Amino acid sequence: MGCCSCFGFTRRRKPLVRPTPGFNNCLSQEPLLDGDLDYEDDCSYNDDVTSTGNRDENEEQSPGHGDENEAQSRAKRSEEILRFRLENGLICRQFPVKETNKLVRTEDENGNKMVNEYVREYKIGSGSYGKVVLYRSSVDGKHYAIKAFHKSHLLKQRVAPFETAMTDVLREVLIMKMLDHPNIVNLIEVINDPETDRFYMVLEYVEGKWDCEGTGPPSGLGENTARKYLRDIVSGLMYLHAHNIIHGDIKPDNLMVTGKGTVKIGDFSVSQVFEDDNDDLRRSPGTPVFTAPECCIGVTYRGKAADTWAVGVTLYCMVVGQFPFLGETLQDTYDKIVNGPLVLPNDMNPQLKNLLEGLLCKDPTERLTLDAVAEHSWVIGDSGPIPQYLCWCKRKRLAEESNGNKDDDSGITHTN
């Protein structure tokens, strides 16, 4: 079963239920793609503190999250930056996302529903925005996870003073059109027929699951598995930050694990984009229990540092099996994040303890950077440094520079 937070679904506030030992044993590919509205989920602690909330609500619950004009300006800037990059070919993909403007809904010879070439198999999850269904392509035979939406429904749902749910979905699509990395969920195709109310995102299907059972002590994954997962998370997040993208909601529910144990980051519904290294933000629309201290108390905060804090909370959950700062109420949780001490097991590996203390440093200026995390002795372990991924835009730029050097060597003069 999936967490109902991942499609933006937020329940009314109620007393928190503390997580039981055995962190997210029920996590699979479902939570990342969508949440499930079924309250009888085995993961019983999905509440306001552990769910991605409505951004208006978050602004009221946590101080210092900006005024309406700045919120509108930031959303508009992200969209403008994304559209400029797309229109000018400034994307990090060798092959662009397929754009399909014609929707044909039929059935195959066995009576299974079809969307264009895709044959429906079964629903993965559902939430307030739409649903996710597993499909098989009749062309290549591969499985895909397809997010399905009703545009009219998205346009009616207001998630911020100047934004609807459609704003979130379209921004997520624009961001995913930019990206191509082995540790990020890949967007394959967008189906948007202007003649219909339906809208589809065709995503790669991750067949594996986050399996905590039997991999370590009852309370966590075990160091080796946690290290492997963390290396993938850091690699994917470093790629995002290098492309001036702040994820904004790093947490286990938004991480999928393939059958071969590769972690992929997904759910970019609250992500933001920047033109340069100025990653100042005023709002924290992510999940409260993963929120950095500066997001709770300051007028502005740095997005990359906040993402890094969320990585620390995720690592803590992986190895300890519970949240480092969790109160009985939302405000109590924020108070613990800001003022509560970090409690680590006495028998924890000293290197791991040092890493967690660096990641969960309450002062963002003293917090470990992702570059420092990648070079940390515990992260390196016996595997060596995290491999540097040479992405498509870097390869293209290096090729252009190489060709330019060849031209210079041949005596050709370049003018701007």
Helix, strand or coil for residue 248?
A: coil
Residue matched to tokens 């624009």: 174
Looking at residue 184, what DSSP letter applies? B
Parallel, antiparallel or unpaired: strands 163-164 and 158-160: antiparallel
Cα 46 versus chain centre, distance: 17
Nearest Cα to 292, choosing from 325, 243, 331, 318? 325
Residue matched to tokens 């704003």: 167
C-beta separation of 24 from 2 below 8 A: no
Per-residue b or e along 62-96, where b marks 16 or more CB atoms closer than 10 Å to that residue's CB: bebbbeeeebeebbeebeebbeebeeeeebbbeee
Token couple for 191: 């189906």
Rg for the chain (alpha carbons), in Å? 22
335 belongs to the catalytic site: no
- 336 belongs to an annotated ligand binding site: no
Token couple for 295: 């997001």
Exactly one of 168, 180, 249, 253 is catalytic; which is it? 249
Annotated binding site: 147
Which residues carry out catalysis? Answer: 249
Annotated binding site for ATP: 147
